[in-house]
Amino acid sequence: MKTQVLTDARALNDAVAALAEWAETIRFAYAWMDTACPAWSQLPDEKITESVVGAHFAQTDPAVFDHFLAEELTENVGVIIEKAGTFHPKVIVGIKGSQARAVVGSSNFTRGGFGANTELNVLLQGKLTDDALAALTHFIDELWNRSDWITPAWAARYRELHENRPPKPPSPPRPGLESSGDYVGLESLRVTWPEWFEMLRNRFDSTARGGLRVPLFHEEGSYLLEARACDRIFDARTPFATLDRDSRRLLVGRKGVRASNGSFGGGGASGIFMHTVLEEPEALGALIDAVPRTGEVGAATAETFLTQAFALPSVGMAGATRLLAMKRPDRFLPVNGGNRDRIQAVFGFGITNVEHYLKLHEIIWSFPWATAPEPEDPFEREIWRWRVALLDTAYYVHAGSWD
């Protein structure tokens, strides 16, 4: 039997995609699943048999159960409701004749589990009778035998529970970060451009994201490299709706072939939002195309764009403000789950609607560095052009994930 340790999302996605294509039948047992998982589209319905998914903490995406009902897969997929303990396995097995492949480990079948989370999984390949592969299929057998039917009434009730589930608890700050409020407070933002530029260079290069160092300049995974990638797309003046799919993924902060590295947050958590971005981009594209790439833009531009964007399917604060900030990073800040708590703590109010977003920017635009003239130094000028969007480096803290 062959084994391969999978330590990153790309290897995991490739392994599961290859398993799904190779197998004649597929079985799985996942604690949580969601349709925003990058591997969801790689899972052929016709190959699924005797599989189970959990519903503990109401974390599984209700759209998963709706899909199984709509595709008449409830004879092949059951739900596990544990009365004691937490249902928490993560395994998928592909079978072809006497051969089998399995991916087992820490990743749920979710956007986080197959994306930004730190996970560890193992790919097994061998005969179905090999001890490890036989044990995994026997384990799924036992789960299948005690699973419950997914019914329309149950799925409707589950959706209510999912929508009203308690909010996820915040992650604790990285040790030492709790005392670093001096560089994100309002007084520290009332500085000149040279002072702000030095803050960016000297202090924000070690922004905490889940306790990890997030580089600002130059390095792989840095804010600056994400900024340059977005600049290249918008500078080409190509209408949003006619951009290739990976360019659109990048602009809204969703991983793809041309991957976003997660800087400036993103709006890719909603499967319906990504459907709008990738499959029906015309309406959203017309709105962002109308935002000038250069010249004066202010509150009226933001109000028009956000009001109309929020009227589209599943376009929320994170996705809309990310797109606006990438188009005009000199004027707008993306607001997302990773920075909104700190923004509220520093500015004194939450950002939940267009009015709040405009109020936030009225304050930001009052800072001397925000209205400073363009500097002469080429590198400094590049940072100046992203000066408002780069506030994200001061406030972004990875909010953690339950998936």
User: Residue ranges per domain, the chain?
Assistant: 2-163, 177-395
Lowest mean pLDDT among 104-118, 175-189, 361-375: 175-189
With beta carbons less than 8 A apart as the criterion, state whether 39 and 115 touch.
no
DSSP state of 148: B
Regarding predicted confidence, which is higher, 374 or 169? 374
Q: Which residue has the tokens 């004691």?
A: 84
The pLDDT value recorded for residue 215 is 56
Q: Per CATH, is 2-163 categorized as 3.40.50.620?
A: no
The pLDDT value recorded for residue 210 is 41
The pLDDT value recorded for residue 11 is 93
The pLDDT value recorded for residue 174 is 42
Lowest mean pLDDT among 195-204, 325-334, 362-371: 195-204
CB neighbour list of residue 392: distance below 8 Å, 6 or more residues apart: 223, 263, 264, 265, 333, 334, 339
Q: What is the mean pLDDT of residues 187-206?
A: 75
- Say if pTM beats, i.e. exceeds, 0.85: no
The pLDDT value recorded for residue 259 is 58
For 225-254, letters b (16+ CB in 10 Å) and e give bbbebbbebbeeeeebbebeebbbbbbbbb
- The C-alpha atoms of residue 5 and residue 373 are separated, in whole angstroms, by 52
The pLDDT value recorded for residue 257 is 46
Asked whether the predicted pLDDT for residue 184 surpasses 80, the reply is no
Q: What is the mean pLDDT of residues 197-202?
A: 76
134-156 pLDDT, tens digit per residue, is: 999 999 999 999 999 999 999 99
Q: What are the residues facing 30 on neighbouring strands?
A: 53, 90
Q: Which residue has the tokens 């030492």?
A: 176
Helix axes 299-310, 282-289, angle to 10 degrees: 180
63-84 pLDDT, tens digit per residue, is: 999 999 999 999 999 999 988 8
| CA-based nearest residue to 254, from 347, 379, 127, 116 | 116
Q: What is the mean pLDDT of residues 89-114?
A: 96
| CA-based nearest residue to 104, from 133, 81, 80 | 133
Regarding predicted confidence, which is higher, 221 or 108? 108
- The C-alpha atoms of residue 378 and residue 369 are separated, in whole angstroms, by 17
Roughly how many angstroms between the first and final C-alpha of the chain, as a whole number? Answer: 29
Task: Look at phi and psi of residue 105 and say left if phi exceeds 0, alpha if psi is from -120 to 50, else beta.
Answer: left
Q: Which residue has the tokens 């600002």?
A: 216
High-pLDDT (> 90) share of the chain, %: 55
Q: What is the mean pLDDT of residues 108-112?
A: 91
- The C-alpha atoms of residue 30 and residue 51 are separated, in whole angstroms, by 9
Q: How sure is the predictor about 216, in pLDDT bands with cuts at 50, 70 and 90?
A: low
Q: What is the mean pLDDT of residues 153-178?
A: 72
Q: How sure is the predictor about 121, in pLDDT bands with cuts at 50, 70 and 90?
A: very high
User: Which H or E run includes 125?
Assistant: strand 121-127
- The C-alpha atoms of residue 382 and residue 380 are separated, in whole angstroms, by 5
High-pLDDT (> 70) share of the chain, %: 85
Asked whether the predicted pLDDT for residue 176 surpasses 70, the reply is no
Regarding predicted confidence, which is higher, 357 or 395? 357
Asked whether the predicted pLDDT for residue 295 surpasses 80, the reply is yes
